[in-house]
Amino acid sequence: MSSLRKIIVLLLVLLAFGALRLKFERQMLTEFRDAGLMREQNHLESRDRIDQTSSAVALGGLRTLVATFLNLRAHGYFERQAWNELQDTYETIVNLAPQTRYYWETGSWHMAYNAASYYLHESSRPPLRRKELWRSSILQGRYFLERGIGNNPRDWSLHASLGHMLRDPNKLPAMRDRDAALMAAHEAYDRSVELGCFSPMLNQRLSLYCLARVRGRESEALALARTLHEDPRHHKPTLLILLYVLEFDADPDQDAGALALRIFGDAKTAYEALAHHWRGNREGYPMDGVAQGLARMEGLLGIPPLQSILGQKLAPGFNPDDWFK
């Protein structure tokens, strides 16, 4: 057979076999992508961000390998406190390995915690600039984590991490709407429990702790607190305190002393718990009935008025303006 004829036959065979496999291959690709085993080809964005060699390696089906090397590079940026480069690197990393929880959590941690703390204490910039950088770092960390959840909606750990971030009193002042952030944290904890987190009881309580701080949701919080209180394993100091303040909020005319004794069991325990809550009001928990309860317990325990905790000056609440003076 002549060379030309041979080439023509060869091309025709390849075409015919190509046509035969095309439909099946496409179905397989769709099936694999739906199962999360592969994703659309690397976005142009990430191809631009990584060098040619890494791009070739990523193209060869080794995206997670490139991601691990970029993670090492990002650690270097963290050590040098090069926050912009670090953020860019994590954007690329999650583009390459979007199903790896660790990268979403670490990236958001660097932004919302490490970069934010850096701007909080850094003194070379003007206060207003630092404050804006601090706020935007926290918001970027939150947004990054929320994107991680969007990519991995069934990952309980990402939901719990979002809950931890949004309920943090050091982060809350950066949020534009405090109540909305706390509500989001409450929902995130609930979702983490639904998805089978390691410590469902703890996350149920954390969910309550967030809901109790949302203004206008007191009745919902009280219902949740009562439900959790039915299980003695939930009888932790913060839960008991919140049950107390929410019960008092629901009926302010009731006897604070009787309520405290009913919930805490004895005057000494009630006094210690209420006093601790009184001192720790920086976290923004409701304080309904705490002063009344303390006054009653002090009376029962015979604490002289001069030593009353109610006479002590309370620590001021969190105000970011004070941090950047």
Distance, CA of 144 to CA of 90 (rounded, Å): 9
Q: Does 105 bind other proteins (CB under 8 A)?
A: yes
Q: How far is it, in rounded angstroms, from Cα 108 to Cα 99?
A: 15
Kindly tell me which of 10 and 314 has the beta carbon lying closer to other proteins: 10
Give the x/- contact pattern for other proteins in 156-185, rule: CB under 8 A: -x---x------------------------
Structure token digits, residue 8: 């023509």
Nearest-CA neighbor of 251 among 289, 221, 220, 285?
289
* Gap between the Cα atoms of 175 and 167, Å rounded: 11
Closest approach, Cβ 100 to other proteins, in A, equals: 5
What is the chain's length? 325
- The residues, ordered by sequence, that sit 6+ positions from 227 with a Cβ below 8 Å of its Cβ are none
Q: Is 22 in the site for other proteins (CB under 8 A)?
A: yes
The answer to whether 175 and 166 are in contact (CB under 8 A) is: yes
Binding other proteins (rule: CB under 8 A), the pick from 4, 24, 232, 321 is 24
Q: Is 87 in the site for other proteins (CB under 8 A)?
A: no
Six-digit token pair at 20? Answer: 């035969």
The nearest distance, CB 148 to other proteins, in angstroms, is 13
Site membership for other proteins, residue 237 (CB under 8 A)? no
Binding mask 183-202 for other proteins (x = CB under 8 A): -------------x-xx-x-
| Orientation of helix 101-109 relative to helix 83-96, angle to 10° | 170
In the set 8, 25, 227, 254, which binds other proteins (CB under 8 A)?
Answer: 25
Nearer to other proteins, 157 or 308 (CB): 157
Only one of the segments 19-27, 87-95, 174-182, 280-288 lies at the binding site for other proteins (rule: CB under 8 A); that segment is 19-27
Which of 32-40, 220-228, 288-296, 309-317 is the region at the interface with other proteins (rule: CB under 8 A)? 32-40
Residue among 154, 228, 161, 220 nearest 188 (CA): 161
In the bound state with other proteins, the residue whose beta carbon lies nearer, of 9 and 223, is 9
Among 46, 71, 87, 192, binds other proteins (CB under 8 A): 71
Burial class (CB in 10 A: 0-12, 13-18, 19+), 39: middle
Residue type, 79: E
Binding of residue 99 to other proteins (CB under 8 A): yes
Is 154 a binding residue for other proteins by CB under 8 A? The answer is no
- DSSP letters for 125-145: S-HHHHHHHHHHHHHHHHHHH
Q: Smaller CB distance to other proteins: residue 112 or 294?
A: 112
Q: Let me know: does 248 contact 285? Beta carbons within 8 Å.
A: no
- Near other proteins by CB under 8 A, which window of 66-74, 83-91, 224-232, 250-258? 66-74
Q: By the 8 A CB rule, do 151 and 98 touch?
A: yes
- Report the distance separating Cα 65 and Cα 57, nearest Å: 8
Residues lying near other proteins in the complex (CB under 8 A) are found at: 1, 6, 9-11, 13-15, 17-19, 21-22, 24-26, 28-29, 31-32, 35-38, 41, 56-57, 59-65, 67-68, 71-72, 75, 78, 97, 99-100, 102, 105-106, 109, 113, 157, 161, 196, 198-199, 201
